[in-house]
Structure 1
Amino acid sequence: RQHFGQQSDEFNLAKVSFSPTIIVHASIHVFNKEHLRLLSRGPTYVPPYQMTKRRNLEKNYKQLQHDLNRLFVKSNVNMIQSMFLQKQIKDSYMEMFSMPILSQSIHERAHYEQQLIEQIQNDLKRFNLILRRTHDQQNVFYLGDRNSFEQLSQEFMLQTDLFEIDMTIDKENVQATRDYLTNKIKLMNCEFENIFVNTTKYKDELKKINVVIDKVELPYLYFLPDLSKQPLLNVKPMMLTTQYSATGTDFSEKFHNYIDQYDRLRSTTNFVTITINNFYHLVPHHILLSTLLDFFVKYYHLPIVENIHITKIVRLTSLFLHNNRFYYDGKIYRFLQGGPSNSGLIETLSNIYLNLMDNFLINQSSTKQNEFYGRCQNQIFFTWNQSLNELEQVLKSMKSDYHHLSFDIHIGKNLNYLDLYLENHNGILYSRVHHQHNQQPYTLPYISSKGNSIRTYSHWLRSSLLRAIRYCTSIEDFNQERIYLEMTYLANGYSIDFIDKHIQHFFKFFDAKSLQQLPLDQGAYKKIRHRLFNFMREQRQHKEKKQESFKKNRRFHLSYIYDNVGPKSRFNKKLREILSKHVQLPNTTFENNKLQLDIRTKTQHSLNSLLSGQRPSHPIINKKIN
């Protein structure tokens, strides 16, 4: 069958026996084969032909309008000129996307799928069922009984010490809650001015952090099913977030460099992994704040960070931590430990806190014995060349000093770290890609509805092939992983032509055609692996330069909603022509004033947003706070 985001003249959903399927835990449901087939496309799937009505186009243009306004302000475009450009661009957008040319089969498919979605929505309500994506970030749906799921969620909220109830919402007087939250925001803004004192000197900083009351929305908490310990079902709290998916790509490169440089991998060398639970909720706020201050004093050694005194930074951090509120089940909650997992600041504070444990473990091993040590968020890995008794003593001391944390520790000559399998084979490192045994095979990752799934999955295939070469020390393992990736895309509805095009482009781009020839040549494979490690270092440097260009306001993000059926390439070309002709960057030389645009599209509503019902219907959520 065709990839779900591509146009096709054949309205055909072919059967694939090993394709990823919805996980059904419901005691009763009336979904037929066609309903389940649609749901098995996963929460990322975006049904076609959703945005052709003019009111939808008007709504979808607002994101691009917002991005253009930012570009015009930073480029010193006057108001009259910006209004003229906005009108010209909007007219082009409305004209091109209001009348997309669709084949008869796409029209039939869109209408048919819309009928299926409406039937599923009705049956979810009628039989009191819940449909959610799984917590493991795979593109898989879970179908279960709503009462059982909500009971587990309520038990979590009653037992957890991560949050406290800040306010119970009066159903008859929701405005009282809005007034309470508005007052909290006003107090925060006043405290910002108290912290900086000199509001003229710090006007730019205040402008960035001041909370605009009529634009802020209250976050909400929802739960996802955790099936990692099947048949036992657990639930995990989420808050408007896309989880960071850690991979071992950088780790693999650094570990190989360590082995080549120091020649420390012996037949007796053990590997150790430590997983720290609740990375975003490690300790109460006062401990995070004291750790932050200690970090500045002991390690930074300077009182000022980017023109802001460290005491101001600690006070601002305290404001952030103590004012993280969210909605759940008719109540306003406040974080007591850590904060939202989509917060870069929480991740930084957690890393600073765990830096003390890093230093402890490094002092016990790496400094003395030149061991390898690394940590990715809550995942620690290090080598150990001393006795296991000494290691047990080190781990015992660590557990004693950090008794409030929960650890999952593994020791051995072969183990898994992140998505990588490692084995000490008599002093020679063997590694390959690791696939979780408790996940469905041949599944793609979940892509947020805010992104473009077609573009992201195309990039994911390339990055997965790169990962396979960098992880797999054996060409046979790489070949098996390549086949696994091809089967994964076939199972998820991608055409053979699509897969072959991307595979061939990958081998041609990296001059690795020899990897497709028989017999497989391990010597040629080793040379290609070495070249790819160098390529990734160059890519990181290029990415840093690109980010620097964004900081200097020379490169701009522009995005808009796209339905996979409109003239995207033609509109993007028109958009670039208009902006390049009328917008020039200030304070740059003639050679360096070229406008750099990063134009991206976002998809319409995915099955997840159409069917999961994770957004509460309470009026405190669906209206602005004031």
Structure 2
Amino acid sequence: MLSNGRKYIIPCQSRFSRQSINEIAKEEYKRISNTIKKSLDSNRMSITDERAKQAFPELEKMIHDLYSKPLPPKLNRRARREYKKIKRLQKLLHRRPDVIIRRVDKGEGFYFGNKSMLENKTEEYMNKTEAYEELTNGRCPLADILHTTEAVLDYLLKKKAITKDQRDKLLPNLNTLELAHLYTLPKVHKPQLSIRPIISALHAPVTFLSKYLNDLLAPIYLQEARDITFINSIDATRKLEKYAEDGYLKPTTKFMTGDVENLYSMIPREGGINALIRFLEKHSKYQRIGPFTIDMILKMARLILDTNYFAYENKYYHQKRGGAMGSAFTQVYANIYMLEWEQKLIQHQSSKNEIYGRYIDDIFMTVNEPYDDILFELEKLQNEDLNIKINSTVNDTVNFLDITISNTNGQLKTFIYHKPSADPYYLPYTSDHPHRIHRNIPYTALIRAARLCTNLHDFHLERLRIEVSLLLNNYPPKFILNQFLRFFQVHKADTLITRFDTKVYDELHHTLLYQPSQRELELKQTKTDPVLFPPALQPKTWNPRMMYLRHRFETGPISTFSQALKRWWKKHYQYPGSAANHLQLRLIPKTNRKLQNFLIRKKPSRKILTTLAPIE
């Protein structure tokens, strides 16, 4: 069961719920009918006429019948078998409090280990970074954080920087309000086991404000630093190929990769704020970004940084350096701090027509000078700011992000890098996901391979790896073949199935590599000045003629709901002259609980997280 990975979904979960089938069906009908009625009403269609009185009882009966219909015997046996395995695992974990289960860092698998060992690793990390301090009074800081958040938002409202509606949206939901909590992800891909600390603040008081401030500043940062920012491996590959095409890649060219040690927790409090002030002064217009003065932005930033409190092992802590890994604002805050530090390195590389690029805490450079010279430049910068420590390597073949980059006698080669600890894993075919999810996995895997592999030989090796991995994850051979054929036919590269045609592959690689992603298309469409007209403040367009309908998906009779609803909609509302003919129905399947939701327990008790007791 565990080999299925953390995102695996066992089938037919409604059949094993504590709720009765009738209760589940009623809730599903209520949610779906409310969405439909709201959409009809907003398009000036009656929800109480004779048509509606006939249609909605029929919809309720249809949903009830789908949920009540017996499962096919084979599916029923499989669902019961998998559910029993889950219950046995849960009982085992309950009997063994010394055993901890976590999802692994940068992977889809599980980590089973000794709880004390992981706690010791966390304590070592806290001591090493000196970024955390325990609250010795033992009082939950949640009430104070909430009060401070309300005060800052009230100040912004009073200054007319935000509206009453915006203030309400930035406030936390009091029904789900809780303090952040820390958990760790084991880095099993490292030679020695280490951890990545994550502060989960999904329902914390400043979560919405943190995202808001990130959305305000990130477009400005990206506009300034786009040339030295690697968005992903595709972006890195594009810049490398351009570097080679321009004639800068020589047989002696080396590549340097560097890792910024503990990026999010190493930023000094005042140093980080001062870097933010200089960034805002440089990029604001008339000391403003949108409706916010620099002082207002600093009030929001200080609030987010000063309220980095969290619970861990029934104790309360405060992060006094850097930002919380898991907070949206932390990434742009760290990027701004790093951007100031790396300016001399950027200029050094630019003067020599070399690449300098960074993806969060991963640095990449091309080098055509002695290693000692570039090391000297790095050491100079690190001596200027002792908080920043770079672990670097230089070679003619390096691994960066998820690609291997190689220089063979002046010929650039990139292909997909697989960590030694990585399993040949894809979401299992038996996982209870909609069929289109499984159908797209082989297709998107081949697109990724064609984008990142610069030559046909490496592409075919990756294609074979994809095929074997899919077979190991229970994908039928015929299904795999059909999806592979779909890929080659859609991209007009059928000849690659039977011939080793490098010219056809080069065209395929180039076309897919430079095909803009959805994110790039969105950025191109946003042509407004992010300082005068911040995208975060632009109203989201709502199309009343689009009806987004979320519905439960699971294998069995319920999986036919989508087709049944479309028939119901056509029967009752898509008649000649109906206003509903202008409505577009978008069905969004909502899957059941994943394996990780059944097995991983990382949150402290609710009492620890929700006590609204002020700090004395």
Quote how far apart the aligned CAs of 1:571 are: 3.1
Q: Distance in 2 between matches of 1:240 and 1:581?
A: 46
Contact 1:193 1:199 in 2 (8 A): no
CA deviations on 1:388-441 (whole Å, 9 max, x unpaired) are 34312211212212321231211122211111111112222112111112x133
The one-letter amino acid paired with 1:490 is L
Q: Distance in 1 between matches of 2:550 and 2:163?
A: 31
The one-letter amino acid paired with 1:43 is R
Q: Which residue of 1 is the match for residue 2 of structure 2?
A: 39
CA deviations on 1:301-350 (whole Å, 9 max, x unpaired) are 44222222222112112112222332211123232233343333211111
Of residues 458, 483, 502 in structure 2, which corresponds to 1:502?
A: 483
Closer, same or farther: CA 482–614 of 1 in aligned 2, 3 Å: same
Of residues 565, 570, 573 in structure 1, which corresponds to 2:556?
A: 565
CA deviations on 1:48-75 (whole Å, 9 max, x unpaired) are 11124344556778987998899899x6
Unmatched tracts of structure 1, length 5 or more:
1-37, 171-176, 584-590
CA deviations on 1:125-161 (whole Å, 9 max, x unpaired) are 3244535344333222222233433444445455552
Q: What aligned pairs does 1:582-597 form with structure 2 within 5 A after superposition? A: none
Q: Which residue of 2 is the match for residue 227 of structure 1?
A: 188
Of residues 507, 515, 536 in structure 2, which corresponds to 1:527?
A: 507
- Percent identical among aligned pairs is 24
Contact 2:5 2:427 in 1 (8 A): no
Contact 1:134 1:227 in 2 (8 A): no
Q: Distance in 2 between matches of 1:345 and 1:604?
A: 30
CA deviations on 1:29-61 (whole Å, 9 max, x unpaired) are xxxxxxxxx122122211111124344556778
Q: Distance in 1 between matches of 2:322 and 2:28?
A: 35
Partner of 2:255: helix, strand, or coil? Answer: strand
Partner of 1:440: helix, strand, or coil? Answer: coil
Contact 1:128 1:145 in 2 (8 A): no
Q: Which residue of 2 is the match for residue 484 of structure 1?
A: 465
Contact 2:133 2:318 in 1 (8 A): yes
Quote how far apart the aligned CAs of 1:220 are: 2.1
Contact 1:275 1:379 in 2 (8 A): yes
Quote how far apart the aligned CAs of 1:470 are: 1.8
Contact 2:264 2:325 in 1 (8 A): yes
Q: Distance in 2 between matches of 1:65 and 1:166?
A: 49
Partner of 2:181: helix, strand, or coil? Answer: coil
Q: Distance in 2 between matches of 1:334 and 1:61?
A: 45
- Farther-moved stretch of structure 1 (233-242 vs 221-230): 233-242
Unmatched tracts of structure 2, length 5 or more:
203-229, 528-534
Partner of 1:442: helix, strand, or coil? Answer: coil
Contact 1:131 1:611 in 2 (8 A): no
Q: Which residue of 1 is the match for residue 364 of structure 2?
A: 381
Contact 1:365 1:371 in 2 (8 A): yes
In the alignment, structure 1 residue 513 sits paired with structure 2 residue 494:
yes
Q: Distance in 2 between matches of 1:65 and 1:163?
A: 49
Q: Distance in 2 between matches of 1:129 and 1:381?
A: 41
Q: Distance in 2 between matches of 1:61 and 1:159?
A: 54
Q: TM-score, normalised by structure 2?
A: 0.79
Q: Which residue of 2 is the match for residue 95 of structure 1?
A: 64
In the alignment, structure 1 residue 605 sits paired with structure 2 residue 593:
yes
CA deviations on 1:435-486 (whole Å, 9 max, x unpaired) are 112x13312389xx9x968755654433321221122122111001001011
Q: Which residue of 2 is the match for residue 349 of structure 1?
A: 333
Q: CA RMSD in A?
A: 4.2
Q: Distance in 2 between matches of 1:201 and 1:79?
A: 36
Q: Distance in 1 between matches of 2:289 and 2:176?
A: 29
Of residues 538, 541, 554 in structure 2, which corresponds to 1:552?
A: 541
Q: Distance in 1 between matches of 2:583 and 2:520?
A: 23
Q: Distance in 1 between matches of 2:335 and 2:109?
A: 31
In the alignment, structure 1 residue 115 sits paired with structure 2 residue 99:
no
Quote how far apart the aligned CAs of 1:248 are: 0.5
Q: Which residue of 2 is the match for residue 407 of structure 1?
A: 390
Residues matched between the structures, number: 562
Q: Distance in 2 between matches of 1:255 and 1:66?
A: 52
Of residues 237, 241, 249 in structure 2, which corresponds to 1:252?
A: 237
Of residues 392, 396, 407 in structure 2, which corresponds to 1:424?
A: 407
Q: Which residue of 1 is the match for residue 209 of structure 2?
A: none
Q: Distance in 1 between matches of 2:490 and 2:63?
A: 38
Q: What aligned pairs does 1:52-201 form with structure 2 within 5 A after superposition? A: 52=15, 53-54=20-21, 55-56=23-24, 91=60, 94-95=63-64, 97-100=66-69, 102-157=71-126, 160-166=129-135, 169=138, 177=140, 181-198=142-159
Q: Which residue of 2 is the match for residue 391 of structure 1?
A: 374
The one-letter amino acid paired with 2:5 is G
